[in-house]
Amino acid sequence: MNEKLNLMKEFTKGIVSENPIFVMLLGMCPALAVTATLETSLGMGLLVIFVLTLSNVLISSVRKFIPENVTIPAFIVVIATFVTIVRMLTQAYAPALFDALGIYIPLIVVNCIILGRATAFASKNKVLPSLIDGLGMAIGFTLAISLIGILREIFGTGAIAYGVYLPLGIQGSILNIDSPLFNIAILTGPAGGFLILAVLLAFFNSRKIKKAEKLKAERKRLAKEKRAAKAKEVTA
Amino acid sequence: MSDSQEAFVSRAITGKKLLYLEGALGIVLGASFVIFGWYVLVIAAVSIALSVGVDFVFAKAKKQKIDESWLIFPLLYALMLPPSAPLWMAGVGVVFGNLFAKQLFGGYGRTIFHPAAVGIMFLMISFPALIFGWYDPEVFGWFNPFSQASLDALAPVMPLHQINAGGSSAWSLLDLALGSVPGNIGETFGLLLIALGTVLAVLKVIEWRLPVAIIVSYLITAGIFELFGATGGTIPSVFTGSLLFGAIFIASDPVHAPVNHKAIWIYGAGIAFITFIIRYFATFAEGFIFAVIIMSAVGALVDAWLTGKEETA
């Protein structure tokens, strides 16, 4: 029961409390470069889910055989292998996504989230927790960049297109808002990535600060109540 | 507040000098009211109201008073908009400029880029057709700037575009100097701008070297290119676009401009050169705003570099 709870915690921490984009600020390069539309973000996220989960599993299972001195080169070899597989699969089955992501697919090799999880988690933990950790982190990353992608696409083009980059079989767009306010061209450009990321970071940080303050106040109140109760006991 | 923040000395224009500057901008707005009609006052009012709204929210959050630059920035901003600007666009730009360029950096005096320039730049990149477009008010009327017909009729026919295209403008030099030509609200009346700039320089509100450096450098750059046949009309092109207005009111802002005299000339030459390059070779018709923002980033470095060198020499 306890172990199950721990696994659940390993999974959710990547999505909420240790979100790679909004909390740890890792993997900023793809978060800024490929998030112009929802579909490219989602595509990038799927590739990262695949690579991060499998590399975490493999690294965790061979962690006892890797000599101390060559851990990083060994991790890079493992990650690069999975990225090569992913790259070839994307080129074969989703050529539009392959063209849209371009150089950022091979660059997943040096994505700091993947190497970071390999050194910080997979090389020290058993296979199952590593799998859960990798999956959670990658899903957190995907959700975060998808959020950036949605905002950039809605405010930049006024619609959410589907089937353009991902091979869904159907093509179209939803939410077609015909208003100049939803046609801010700067957001689809490189500067838009920075702007949206900054706004979202400010939002999440302010929520975090407020939560911490609330917790502090709550603790103070509890301590005070305890003290009051004690004093009452003494007087009684 | 930490000690380092307390020790910060702002170079912002304050007090009486700020009032002189606002008075000058008020005169420009009055002149543009005569030229373009009542709608420019609506644009200015909307810009000021929204900007003060942002100021108010931040002042309340920081538990401070609204600083005294609340009027100058939206006024400068509104004067750089086209007189056909839809109100929602004026609002978006002013909120963006005030929020991202002024408040997030800690208010006027601590900014790294001019908030008005940032607001206009946001609009230039986001809505280029509306910023550079022009429709004939005599055909569509000033009372209906939102109708689809008038938006469809937007066409790049300002004198700026005509000179950029290599030809001479359809308006004479006198028209350009007196301001009854298509152009942005505060930027067309060249003679008035020059007169106000002179008065402000005499009153020592602005440093006279800054606008002079920019305009002289622009004349030299454009003159050299004219020798090689790249353009016609060096003199008229000074009176088009944001060059005069920006040189006198935007680039001369002491917060973003260098102090050292040599650095001022480098700053001015940089602005003039980038403006010219963007005007004639890039897809944007006006490059002054971009030039000011690029050189604001470099200006302080040039200043530090030159003063550091002079001390050691």
The secondary structure element, H or E, covering residue B138 is helix B137-140
Contact B143, B117 (CB under 8 A): no
Q: Which of B151, B174, B169, B188 lies closest to B34, judged by CA?
A: B188
CA distance A44 to A212: 33
* Higher-confidence position of A16 and A49: A49
Percent of chain B predicted with pLDDT > 70: 82
Q: Is the pLDDT of residue B157 over 70?
A: no
- The radius of gyration of chain A from alpha carbons, rounded to an integer in Å, stands at 22
Kindly report the average pLDDT of chain A as a whole number: 87
Nearest to B127 among A180, A187, A191 (CB): A180
Contact A13, A134 (CB under 8 A): no
B100-120: b (≥16 Cβ within 10 Å) or e = bbbbeeebbbebebbbbbbbb
CA distance A191 to A186: 7
Q: Does A185 touch chain B (CB under 8 A)?
A: yes
User: B88 to chain A: which residues are within 8 Å by CB?
Assistant: 180-181
**Residues forming a β-bridge with A161:** A173
Phi, psi angles (nearest 5°) of residue A225: -60, -40
Q: Does A96 touch chain B (CB under 8 A)?
A: no
Q: One-letter amino acid identity for B57?
A: V
Q: Report the 10 Å Cβ neighbour count for B259.
A: 14
B4, part of any domain: no
Cα–Cα distances in angstroms (integers) from residue A198 to residues A126, B31, B214, B252, in the given order:
36, 40, 34, 30
Q: Residue B144's pLDDT is what?
A: 46
Determine, for residues A189 and B89 on separate chains, whether the beta-carbon distance falls below 8 Å.
no
CA distance B73 to B57: 16
Q: One-letter amino acid identity for A37?
A: T
Can you tell me the mean pLDDT for A107-126? 88
Size of interface A-B (CB pairs under 8 A): 23
Q: Is the pLDDT of residue A20 over 90?
A: no
User: In the Cβ-directed half-sphere of B309, how many Cα atoms lie within 13 Å?
Assistant: 9
How far B281 CA lies from chain A's nearest CA (Å)? 21
| Position B156 confidence tier, pLDDT thresholds 50, 70, 90 | low
Q: Residue B232's pLDDT is what?
A: 61
- Angle between helices B87-96 and B39-62 in degrees, nearest 10: 30
B2, part of any domain: no
Q: In chain B, which residue's Cα lies nearest the Cα of A187? A: B126
Q: Is the pLDDT of residue A122 over 70?
A: yes
The secondary structure element, H or E, covering residue B238 is helix B234-238
pLDDT in tens, B167-186: 666 677 777 777 777 778 88
| Position A9 confidence tier, pLDDT thresholds 50, 70, 90 | confident
Q: Residue A189's pLDDT is what?
A: 84
Who's near B242: CB < 8 A, 6+ residues apart? B80, B184, B187, B250, B286, B288, B289
* Higher-confidence position of B6 and A139: A139
Can you tell me the mean pLDDT for B275-296? 87
Can you tell me the mean pLDDT for A170-179? 76
Q: Does A195 touch chain B (CB under 8 A)?
A: yes
pLDDT in tens, B68-107: 888 889 999 999 988 878 888 889 899 999 988 888 888 8
User: A195 to chain B: which residues are within 8 Å by CB?
Assistant: 100
Q: Which domain holds residue B31?
A: 13-307
Q: One-letter amino acid identity for B263?
A: A
B5, part of any domain: no
User: A185 to chain B: which residues are within 8 Å by CB?
Assistant: 125-128
Determine, for residues B122 and A181 on separate chains, whether the beta-carbon distance falls below 8 Å.
no
Q: Report the 10 Å Cβ neighbour count for A167.
A: 10
Q: Residue B311's pLDDT is what?
A: 45
How many domains is chain B partitioned into structurally?
1
Contact B42, B87 (CB under 8 A): yes
Q: Does A178 touch chain B (CB under 8 A)?
A: no
B313, part of any domain: no
User: A189 to chain B: which residues are within 8 Å by CB?
Assistant: 125
The highest-confidence range among A17-26, A174-183, B79-88, B116-125, by mean pLDDT, is B116-125
User: A183 to chain B: which residues are within 8 Å by CB?
Assistant: 126-127
Determine, for residues A180 and B88 on separate chains, whether the beta-carbon distance falls below 8 Å.
yes
B139, part of any domain: yes
Q: Residue A156's pLDDT is what?
A: 86
Q: Is the pLDDT of residue B216 over 60?
A: yes
CA distance B258 to A148: 37
* Residue in the structure block whose two tokens are 């009032």: B19
Q: Residue B170's pLDDT is what?
A: 65
| CA A55 from centroid of its chain's CA atoms | 16
Who's near A131: CB < 8 A, 6+ residues apart? A53, A56, A57, A60
CA distance B55 to B120: 18
CA distance B237 to B127: 24
CA dihedral A84, A88, A91, A97 (to 10 degrees): -40
| CA A190 from centroid of its chain's CA atoms | 20
Phi, psi angles (nearest 5°) of residue B195: -60, -45
Q: Is the pLDDT of residue B143 over 70?
A: no
User: B126 to chain A: which residues are within 8 Å by CB?
Assistant: 183-187
CA distance B299 to B235: 27
Determine, for residues A180 and B122 on separate chains, whether the beta-carbon distance falls below 8 Å.
no
- Contacting A with CB below 8 Å, chain B residues are 86, 88-89, 92, 100, 122, 125-128, 130
Cα–Cα distances in angstroms (integers) from residue A144 to residues A15, A16, A159, B96, B224, in the given order:
9, 10, 19, 24, 52
CA distance B142 to A216: 58
Q: In chain A, which residue's Cα lies nearest the Cα of B151? A: A180
Cα–Cα distances in angstroms (integers) from residue A191 to residues A41, A184, A194, in the given order:
16, 12, 5
Determine, for residues A181 and B88 on separate chains, whether the beta-carbon distance falls below 8 Å.
yes
Who's near B218: CB < 8 A, 6+ residues apart? B238, B243, B272, B275, B276
* Residue in the structure block whose two tokens are 């890079």: A76
Q: Residue A85's pLDDT is what?
A: 94
Mutate which: B95, B100, B125, vs A, most A CBs within 10 A: B125
CA distance A194 to A53: 28
| Position B308 confidence tier, pLDDT thresholds 50, 70, 90 | confident
Can you tell me the mean pLDDT for A161-183? 77
